Amino acid sequence: MSLILSAAIAAALPLATPETLDAVTVTASRRPRPVAETLADVSVIERAEIEASQAPDLLDLLRLQPGVDLSRTGGSGQASSLFLRGTNSNQVLFLVDGVRVASSNTGATAWEHLPLDQIERIEIVRGPRASYYGSDAIGGVISITTRELRGASALLRLGSNGRQAGAVGYGFAGELSSLSVQAGAEHYDGFSATLPGNFSHDPDDDGYRHRNLGLRARHQLGNQQLSFSGLATQQDVEFDQGVTDVRQHATALTLDGPLAQDWNHRLTLGGARDDLTTPVFFSRFITRRENLDWVHDLALNPAQHLVFGLSAQRERGNSIDTFSGESTYRASLQHHAAFLGWQGHHGALEHELALRHDEHDTFGGKATAQAALGWRLDPGRIYLSWGQGFRAPNLNELYSPGFGGLFAGNPELDPERSNSLELGFDTRIGEARFGANLFRTRIRDLVAFQGNDSFQAVNVARAAIDGLELTVDRAYEALQLGANATWQDARNADTGLDLLRRPNLKLGVTGSYRFETAIVLSGDLNYVSERRDFSGDLHPYALAGVRAEWSFAPSWNLGARLSNAFDREYSFARNFATPGRELIVTLRWQGQ
């Protein structure tokens, strides 16, 4: 193990920014900008990289990203958590085609059910973005864009533990309009999600069934473009006591284009639905969210931009006891907001300032701000940023009756609040790119079920997070190498204890070689240090994976992925199982 760690640290220590430095991001500042010009730490994962990873789900795709820590209670489809820069999973804003997809009842995003075959692009923005997006964006924003096909496509995937998956789709584009549709399904026998030490352990396999349908359409209306996107998924998730049925929908209707020579806008009407039913517990949670988002980009001159906009949102949630047919609570919330951002540069000096005010039904008004200054180097940049964030309480935290009066919600809750500082640096030396990001986050008024003798929800906890991310990548003609390291100290500011399931050290190393025969061989190494969990610590682990890809015809591609190649034992969560060595074979066809 020490040899593996030494090699990984040696590879990471020249340290750098993601290989997507020259990509374009919209998420970071609400307008299209090259990643190299944003005063934020951004990673962009394009469709080609998603396919090359041959990952079966988002957890396997994102586990090597710096600053991203993951947890899952079993195999594919089981409940998962994502911690961005040490923040809680409900302090990360997930967007699908610009639409919020977190459950209003629980505040969590069931991102484990988002199908990779429907995803065109993923943007990860680390650090607070509340001044542009409002609630939840404390640790950052993960924005997903769904696919728009050109021509016919098909996919077949087979793997260990009874994994079978397939997808078919077709898209066409005319002079003024386009239409794309894709459907997919997956069957996974899985394995027992729990270990014998778990109080609910049952040694039977806990499988997963998934279906999805994606639709995108566009039509040109003069100088404006009207577009629609929709993604619907349905899952059956087995666990030791039964099966949970999960249904999710996200839709967006968007009108965008120029309003004047230097003035562009984007108006989005979005909707998200989440329906989770667990018959064995006689429970059903239903969430509905509608939102309006109108963003404007006004160029004052080539070097200065104003970004401003309005947003409005309505959330509805219903918790139902399916045995009696009665609602344990039914509630709705509304809020609206306005924001203004000033972005630009004066010679080598870059700047960004953003302000936002949210009005919320439960806690009234909340103002947030962020500011950043950067200096362009030749090549590279250095920047310093500061930002505020907040998370509005979810419906469970506000209105849940609890269990026999215990762990009940509290309608008097305040939002969780945060302040973050970041110092970032990146540069290029020859073909190598290096970078470092030092960050500090303080969060107060965290919601915890600790109130009185009934453990009611109260604003009581505080968190302190300090960290350093380092990345490097280098190209040697057909050979691509990359590495990253994340050191972080995420702790309860009152007790000093580490926050659950967040390691102090994480390393990722990747490499690939492209042969002239259209064969690509790749490998990766992921090391995660010890983490605190309920009733004990989780042991450190190192996982290695290898992949091979062969484009054996103009429209055909065959890939094989062997994850956890050395069949190591490890844990994402105490007394929950993880997969051993797994082989996945994927056949893709893309029509012309």
Q: Is the Cα dihedral 122, 123, 126, 131 positive or negative?
A: negative
Residues 6+ apart with CB under 8 A from 83: 68, 69, 70, 71, 89, 92, 139, 490, 499, 501, 502
* Amino acid identity at 412: E
Residue-wise pLDDT tens digits, 76-98: 999 999 999 999 999 999 999 99
Residue-wise pLDDT tens digits, 120-131: 999 999 999 999
Domain assignment of residue 167, given as a range = 2-590
Task: Tell me: pLDDT of 182 over 60.
Answer: yes
DSSP code of 499?
P
pLDDT category at 10 given cuts 50, 70, 90 is very low
Q: Strand, coil or helix: what is 538? A: strand
> What is the arithmetic mean of pLDDT over 520-537?
95
Task: Tell me: pLDDT of 15 over 80.
Answer: no
pLDDT category at 20 given cuts 50, 70, 90 is low
Q: State the chain's mean pLDDT as an integer.
A: 93
pLDDT at residue 190, rounded to an integer: 95
Task: Tell me: pLDDT of 13 over 50.
Answer: no
Residue-wise pLDDT tens digits, 190-240: 999 999 989 889 899 999 999 999 999 999 999 999 999 999 999 999 998
Q: Are strands 92-96 and 140-146 parallel, antiparallel or unpaired?
A: parallel
Which tokens go with 268? 């989005």
Closest CA to 119 of 203, 212, 11: 212
Question: How far is residue 459's CA from residue 397's CA, in Å, rounded to a whole number?
Answer: 11
Closest CA to 126 of 194, 40, 45: 40
Total of domains in the chain: 1
pLDDT at residue 21, rounded to an integer: 53
> What is the arithmetic mean of pLDDT over 9-38?
68
Q: Please state, as a whole number, how many other Cβ atoms lie within 10 Å of the Cβ of residue 158.
A: 14
pLDDT at residue 79, rounded to an integer: 93
pLDDT at residue 2, rounded to an integer: 38
pLDDT at residue 450, rounded to an integer: 85
Give percent of the chain with pLDDT exceeding 70: 96
Residue-wise pLDDT tens digits, 369-403: 999 999 999 889 999 999 999 999 999 999 988 88
What are residue 461's DSSP bridge partners? 446
Supply the CATH number for residue 414's domain: 2.40.170.20
**Alpha-carbon torsion angle 562, 568, 574, 579, nearest 10:** 30
DSSP code of 406?
B
The 3-state secondary structure of 311-346, one letter per residue: EEEEEEEEEEECCCCEEEEEEEEEEEEEEEEEEEEE
Closest CA to 563 of 111, 69, 63: 63
